[in-house]
Every structure is written in structure tokens, then in C-alpha cells.
Amino acid sequence: MSYTPTIGLEVHAELRTESKMFCGCKNEPHDTEINSNVCPVCMAHPGTLPVPNKKAIEMVYLFGRAVNATAADFSEFDRKNYFYPDIPKAYQISQYAYPFLTGGSLQSIELTRVHLEEDTARSQHDKGSESLVDFNRAGVPLMELVTEPVIHDAQTAGDFARELQLLLRTLKISTANMEKGEMRVEANISVSKTDTFGTKVEVKNLNSFKTVEAAIAYEINRQIEVLESGGEIAQETRGWDDNKSRTFSQRTKETAKDYRYFPDPDISKIVSSQEPAFSSARLDEIMPELPYIKRTSYSNLGLTSSTIEVIIADESLDEYFAAVIQQTDDKDVVKLAANYLTSDVVSVLGSSQLKLEDLQSTHFIELLQLVNENKIGSRVAKDLLPELFGAQSSPLAIATEKNVLQVSDASALDPIIEQVIAEHAEVVEQYRGGKDASLQFLVGQGMKLSKGAANPQMLREEIAKKLA
């Protein structure tokens, strides 16, 4: 019998609140000035008391509505006890028995629970014999999501993590940049030949989707090789070595007993029914259009799945495209907008200091209408696009000034055609000899001479007539 892998994911996401989870310090963990966003509360000075961040709790409940989770009416914070330099209190304020959310699903993967806790400080171990700690991250609101052990391959795990990141960004509750540690994935992996789960191994702090998939695939193969050689799987925590593309042992796996959880006596119990901000009606009111709904509506507009994914994965592109849809009901223009946004506009932004907000949506729509009405060619539109950023003049006015409006008058194309024929006599003979592909070359030369202003279809027809 073959082995069946079983995978459950634990994902931590830093929330986009203005202040930290239990104090008023700025939620700016990446501040270049180390230990600048700290106070007696998040540094655990004696006598200080934590006060829960209401906005962070609201964000978790909003996430729960998005994934159809069951929201707890009663919840509390617990102390998770362990000693490490990045935990100044020697315990982390987390949740154990009464999380804010249970159940729900995402990407057809069932969720076990979602709870809220404080992040730890950031340790730096690359300073020779010293380890340094930056407490700017200590106390940042951290949402932890745990899936059911229902994933059976690395690709499915990676796809779930991608969809989770997209949802967090759509809800605007986390930027979820994995390279910055704002979203951290841990995978619990076991293999078995029976219906009984094998020994679970946790692989921690996977900081990219590629790493998530590589680490899971490697760990599955490693466990199978150990069992096939007659060995036993140790229940442990492992890390991922990117350079060697392999997992490595870190420590034996802790259990809930090791953390000695107990309710935090300094924080009041939370009853969501007593907070209007946590009500279903309030959450539905602020709920944005979710990714699966966008996919359907954008597909109905005729967009390809690859174009849709590029748009919904980028918050600024998505908002801009939504503005375009609101301003025109021309489906052809909307499709052009999607194509230009995901190719030409992205290219312009990537190669310059320009910003998308500097491109007036009305000007962008007018440019696409000129293309759709054959008043300018696509080549001209691409050339004009960078000039529209910050422009006060309309695309039509700019095209007219540059004399690049599309020429659809056969007599006006004659001089261009005559020049092309004269300069490319050898290609002309090839076409007359039966090489049809040569006609496209001649059309291309004509478009170049006209600086993209010639109507390409008419140019093709007129050249073919001349050479008949």
C-alpha cells in the first residue's frame, strides 16, 4: 500500500491596526529605528495592564463572516507560558479554550479555529556572540488560523495559502507580505498507510509560497524514507534550510500542557453581543466584495482567468478597474481596460516613478474608446499611455496634436505604400511569388512609416491591391 500524506496548516497574519494589540504604541514593526515603538505595557514593566484592541477583534470577526465561521459570543484571552528573549513577560497573551472563531472554510479547506494573540519581538542572531532583540514587533496584533488536517499534497497547501493572503488583503485587515514576516505559515505533516494518522511533524516559519510547497514535498518524502528503512518518525519541530532545500530538526514538539495555559486575570471577558461593532449586521455593512464573487462577475465581463487573477491580486489595480466599470457600460472597453491594465499599465508603472492614481480613469477610458472606435491604433495607444499620467489634456487632444489619429483614407495611405514597395523590392517579389507571410512584413513597415497612425486592415488591403 502507498502512503497517504496528511497536512494541516497554521498561519499567523499580522493585522493592519494603527496601534498594537494591548497598548497604544504604533503598529509599525518594520520601523527602521529599532525599539522606537515601545512602552511599559509591551515591554512588560511591573504594574502595567493590557487593554485589548477593539479594532483587531473586529477584524477577526470580519474574517469570520468571510469564511462562514462560527463567531463566539463569549471569548477570553489566556496566558501561554514559555521563556524566550523575545517574550518580555515570559508569557504570550493568546487564546486557548475560547477562540473568537471556530469552523468555516476557505478554498474548500475546513478551518478548525481562528484566534487572536500578540506577536513576539524580533530576534537577531547574526551579531557574532550577541543576540539582539527589537521590540517594535512585540505586541503587534496577530491572527492565527488553524486548518483541519484535510490537505494531502503540497500544491493544495500552497494554493490555500495564496487564497488566504488574497482574502486578508481584500478585507484590508493585513498586508500579509510573507517576505516581511507579516504572514507566516507552519505545516503539520504526517504520512500513513492506514486511516490512522502518522506521527505529526511541524515545519515552522515558511516565508514564501514556493517554500511552503517545497518544504511539504520534502518532508513527505523524508518521512516515507524513514519508515521504509525501518525507522520511526520523531514528533518534533523542524525548520527549512533554503540553501540545502531540506528540513532540519529544531526541537521536540511542545504540547498544550507544556505552555500551562490559564485565563489572563488582567483582561476582561469578551461578550460579542454587547459590542455593536461585532454584530453580523455591522460586519456585513463593511464587508467588501470577496474574491470568489469578483471572479464570477469579472468572468461574466469576458475576462480570462489569468487576467482576473492579476487584477484581484493587486489592491490598487482592482480598485482602479472597479472605477472603470462604474464609469462605462461598454463591455469592449471594459475588456480592453483589463488587458491594458494588466500588461501596458503595469509595465509603465514598473519602469518609472509614475503612480496609478496619477492616471485619470476618465482619460484612460477615453483612450480605450479611441482604440475601440479605430480612431487610433493599439501601437499609438501604448505610446500615448505614459503621457496620460498627470496630463490635463484629453487623449484625443494629445493624439490630434501629435498627428497620430488613425488614417483610414486610402488616398492618404498611397504615399506610404509607394515608399514601402520601393524600399523593399525583394520582399515584394517574394510576395508575388506566393510567399503570403511577406505581406505582413510590408504592412509592418507601413505602420512604422505612419508612426502607427495607419489603419492596419486598410493598409493590408491597399498593399495587396497594389501588388495584385
In terms of Cα–Cα distance, which of 424, 383, 430 is closest to 402?
A: 383
Asked, for residue 414, whether it belongs to a domain, the answer is: yes
Asked, for residue 282, whether it belongs to a domain, the answer is: no
Q: What string of DSSP letters covers 21-58?
A: SSSSSB--TT-SSTT-S--TTTTT-TT------HHHHH
Task: State how far the Cα of 131 lies from the Cα of 133, in Å rounded to an integer.
Answer: 7
152-193: pLDDT as tens digits: 999 999 999 999 999 999 999 999 999 999 999 999 999 999
Report the largest interatomic distance among the alpha carbons of the chain, rounded to a whole angstrom: 95
CA separation, residue 154 to residues 105, 194, 220, 253 (Å): 18, 20, 9, 22
Mean pLDDT of 92-106: 97
- 453 band by pLDDT with thresholds 50, 70 and 90: confident
Same domain for 269 and 300, yes or no, is: no
Residue 16 has pLDDT above 90, yes or no: yes
Which residues, at least 6 apart from 254, have a Cβ–Cβ distance to it below 8 Å?
Answer: 82, 237
- 23 band by pLDDT with thresholds 50, 70 and 90: very high
Same domain for 431 and 392, yes or no, is: no
Same domain for 192 and 249, yes or no, is: yes
Same domain for 213 and 250, yes or no, is: yes
Asked, for residue 283, whether it belongs to a domain, the answer is: no
Mean pLDDT of 204-219: 95
Contact present, 13 and 142 (Cβ < 8 Å): yes
212-249: pLDDT as tens digits: 999 999 999 999 999 999 999 999 999 999 999 999 99
User: What local confidence, expressed as pLDDT, does residue 256 receive?
Assistant: 66
Same domain for 131 and 230, yes or no, is: yes
What CATH number should be reported for the domain holding residue 451?
A: 1.10.10.410
Computed on alpha carbons and rounded to an integer, the radius of gyration of the chain in Å comes to: 30
Asked, for residue 284, whether it belongs to a domain, the answer is: no
Contact present, 67 and 111 (Cβ < 8 Å): yes
Contact present, 65 and 280 (Cβ < 8 Å): yes
Q: Strand ranges (DSSP E) for 207-349?
A: 236-241, 246-252, 262-263, 270-271
Question: Can you give the residue range of the structural domain that contains 433?
Answer: 410-467
Please count the other Cβ atoms lying within 10 Å of the Cβ belonging to residue 128: 6
User: What's the length of the chain?
Assistant: 468
Asked, for residue 199, whether it belongs to a domain, the answer is: yes
Give the whole-number percent of the chain exceeding pLDDT 70: 98
Please count the other Cβ atoms lying within 10 Å of the Cβ belonging to residue 334: 21
Same domain for 194 and 220, yes or no, is: yes
Least confident of 261-275, 356-370, 414-428: 414-428
Mean pLDDT of the chain: 93
Same domain for 72 and 129, yes or no, is: yes
The SS3 assignment for 326 reads helix
Task: State how far the Cα of 362 lies from the Cα of 157, in Å rounded to an integer.
Answer: 41
Asked, for residue 281, whether it belongs to a domain, the answer is: no
The SS3 assignment for 382 reads helix
Residue 455 has pLDDT above 90, yes or no: no
Strands 91-94 and 201-206: unpaired
Q: Which of 382, 400, 418 is the last residue of a domain?
A: 400
Same domain for 206 and 313, yes or no, is: no
User: What local confidence, expressed as pLDDT, does residue 447 receive?
Assistant: 85
Asked, for residue 80, whether it belongs to a domain, the answer is: yes
418: left (phi over 0), alpha (psi -120 to 50) or beta: alpha
C-alpha cell at 334: 471594459
Mean pLDDT of 15-43: 95
User: What local confidence, expressed as pLDDT, does residue 461 receive?
Assistant: 86
- 359 band by pLDDT with thresholds 50, 70 and 90: very high
Asked, for residue 405, whether it belongs to a domain, the answer is: no
384-420: pLDDT as tens digits: 999 999 999 999 999 999 888 877 777 878 888 989 8
Same domain for 272 and 301, yes or no, is: no
Residue 1 has pLDDT above 70, yes or no: no
Contact present, 182 and 169 (Cβ < 8 Å): no
User: What local confidence, expressed as pLDDT, does residue 254 receive?
Assistant: 66
User: What local confidence, expressed as pLDDT, does residue 448 receive?
Assistant: 87
* Kind and range of the H or E run holding 115: strand 109-118
467 or 270: whose pLDDT is higher?
Answer: 270
User: What local confidence, expressed as pLDDT, does residue 217 receive?
Assistant: 98
Give the whole-number percent of the chain exceeding pLDDT 90: 79
- 85 band by pLDDT with thresholds 50, 70 and 90: confident
223 or 31: whose pLDDT is higher?
Answer: 223
Which residues, at least 6 apart from 302, have a Cβ–Cβ distance to it below 8 Å?
Answer: 331, 334, 335
Residue 451 has pLDDT above 80, yes or no: no
Say which amino acid occupies 363.
Answer: H
Same domain for 70 and 176, yes or no, is: yes
Phi, psi of 10 (to 5 degrees): -120, 125
CA separation, residue 129 to residues 35, 124, 126, 132, 254 (Å): 21, 11, 8, 10, 28
Contact present, 349 and 355 (Cβ < 8 Å): yes
Same domain for 105 and 170, yes or no, is: yes
pTM assigned to the model: 0.86
Residue 12 has pLDDT above 70, yes or no: yes
C-alpha cell at 133: 532583540
Within 13 Å of residue 160, how many CA atoms lie on the same side as its CB?
A: 31
Task: State how far the Cα of 452 lies from the Cα of 449, in Å rounded to an integer.
Answer: 8
Q: What is the SS3 assignment for 138-203?
A: CCCEEEEEEECCCECCHHHHHHHHHHHHHHHHHCCCCCCCHHHCCEEEEEEEEEECCCCCCCCEEE
Q: How many domains does the chain have?
A: 3
Same domain for 242 and 327, yes or no, is: no
Q: Which of 371, 400, 429 is the last residue of a domain?
A: 400
Residue 253 has pLDDT above 70, yes or no: no
Q: Which of 400, 423, 452 is the last residue of a domain?
A: 400
Least confident of 33-42, 48-57, 375-384: 375-384
User: What local confidence, expressed as pLDDT, does residue 130 receive?
Assistant: 81
In terms of Cα–Cα distance, which of 4, 292, 10, 5 is closest to 148?
A: 10
Task: State how far the Cα of 338 lies from the Cα of 294, in Å rounded to an integer.
Answer: 13
41-54: pLDDT as tens digits: 999 999 999 999 99
C-alpha cell at 383: 505610446
289-339: pLDDT as tens digits: 999 999 999 999 999 999 999 999 999 999 999 999 999 999 999 999 999
In terms of Cα–Cα distance, which of 391, 393, 389 is closest to 358?
A: 389
